[in-house]
Amino acid sequence: MSLPIGIHDLSFASTEFVLPHTALAAHNGTDVAKYHVGIGQQSMSVPAADEDIVTMGATAAAPLVDRCGKDRIRTVVFATESSIDQAKSAGVYVHSLIGLVPSCRVVEMKQACYAATAALQFAIGLIRRDPSQQVLVIASDVSTYEPDSPGEATQGAAAAAMLVGADPALVRIEEPSGLFTADVMDFWRPNYREAALVNGRESVGAYLRAVEGAWKDYTKQGGRSWEEFAAFVYHQPFTKMAYKAHRHLLSLCGRPADRDTLERDLGRTTAYNAVIGNSYTASMYLGLATLLDQADDLTDRPLAFLSYGSGSVAEFFAGTVAAGYRTHLRTGANHEVIARRRPLDHAGYRALHAWSLPADGGDHSTPAQTTGPYRLAGVSGHKRLYETR
């Protein structure tokens, strides 16, 4: 029997600020039920001027290093679709900020919201080759849409950090995987744009086709039967999308899609995403954190994962929860990540949405807003400057 490999530790971080959807609805003159019920969102995390994917990624990763040490981490994989540089990995900044050893490879991965799962699978392959090492996988994103656009209410920001290793304390990742790729223009962001472009109707359809394709391939590859899964963890661009995807899969499999079934299968996976918003690559792993924090004992129970990234790529795979996992959870810290955010009014949110560092290569500092452990201090000579508090 091969050595189990998977998620040994999991932590996440978000931002200094939060915009309640009640404030957005009041500005738009919209019934707040459109957000609370229609898309299943309560609020969205908003980065401070001195926060970005690096500061969130470092904040999420530091607790893993504090608990487990750094000597065995020989690879850092940073997954994002909010990249800050076309050459240098954001993970190199994180490597420095959290003080990892020089004998370490660091790379960045991109494929929309799917990239963190690609990073996880890459990590598993490295550990299978050398079980003594660990891989730090960081998924960090800020989702940004044009003001007053249909996507605006789904915005959010967060980072999830996973320490991947042999004999994991949380979740053992299994083979096989079900895979699916299709060339679709449902969501994209050219290099010259800050905000993404979205074809809403096509985006939903592409997600559902990817769910179907990945599941069919998973069953073809000899995966677990439906009845074995204790819960289903989906990528959540907004929480109601997970319900829509699961209904589609239930229908495909000839199973009832009643309220009780939906709540049993995925109702315990949405709480963190509902108040943080879409965190792109981190989204599905926030769903996992929610499930582990909220569910009754899941020891030795298989979980289903559906990771999706627009454009589009999807993967369906399984993981079994490890014995003793509850002693390794960070439930209190996770709740604090959400509770510490300071509410914004709509004007404050719009000011931060419009704010950006000048791109002239000069010396520019950022307003000191975050109370987190790391901040983007400014730029000088086109170089981003970070500092530790």
Q: Which residues contact 167 (CB under 8 A, 6 or more apart)?
A: 3, 4, 8
Compute the C-alpha angle 11/13/14, nearest 5°: 155
212 vs 363: CA distance, rounded Å: 50
Helix 259-266 vs helix 239-252: angle between axes, to the nearest 10 degrees?
A: 120
Query: Active-site residue among 235, 246, 248, 353?
Result: 235
Which residue reads 């304390």 in tokens? 169
Query: Active-site residue among 16, 68, 95, 113?
Result: 113
CB neighbours (10 Å) of residue 283?
Answer: 32
Annotated catalytic residue 81: yes
Question: How far lies 71's CA from each of 65, 96, 104, 129, 155, in Å?
Answer: 9, 14, 10, 18, 36
Query: Active-site residue among 81, 108, 152, 212?
Result: 81
Annotated catalytic residue 248: no
Annotated catalytic residue 235: yes
33 vs 42: CA distance, rounded Å: 10
Contact (CB, 8 A) for 113 and 280: yes
Could you list the active site residues?
81, 113, 235
